[in-house]
Amino acid sequence: MCAKFLTLSLATHTIRSYASYRKLASIYLNFLRKCGLILANGIGSIICLGTASMVSGFLYGETSTPRAFFLLFLILSFLFGGFYLFIRCLKVISPHRRHRIYPPKEL
C-alpha cells in the first residue's frame, strides 16, 4: 500500500523523468548508429582500397591479355567501391544535412 501511495504522489515526476530518459536514449541510440555507420563505411573503404592495391600488384607481372583486363576490371570496381564508402563515411560525419527540397516559386 505504501508503494502505491508513493507512485501515485510522484506520478508527474516519474512521467517527466521518463520523458527525459526517452529523449536521452534517442540521442544515445542516434550517436551509436552514427558511430556504427562511420566504422562500417570506414572499414569497408579500407578493405576495398587495400584489395585494389593488392590486385594492382598482381597486374604488374601479368602477360595474359584477358587476365590483365579482368584484373583491371577488379581494380576499378574495388576503387569505385572504396571511394563510394569513403564518401558515405564523410556524409555521416558532416554536420550539415542536405535536404533536397526546392524553395517555393515567387509569384
3-state secondary structure of 58: helix
- Alpha-carbon distance values, 2 to 5, 7, 9, 15, 39 (Å): 5, 9, 11, 19, 50
pTM value?
A: 0.65
CB distance 6 to 14 below 8 Å: no
Convert the pLDDT of each residue in 26-72 to its tens digit.
878 888 899 999 999 999 999 999 999 999 999 998 889 999 999 99
Would you say residue 3 has pLDDT above 50?
Answer: no
> Domain extents for the chain?
16-93
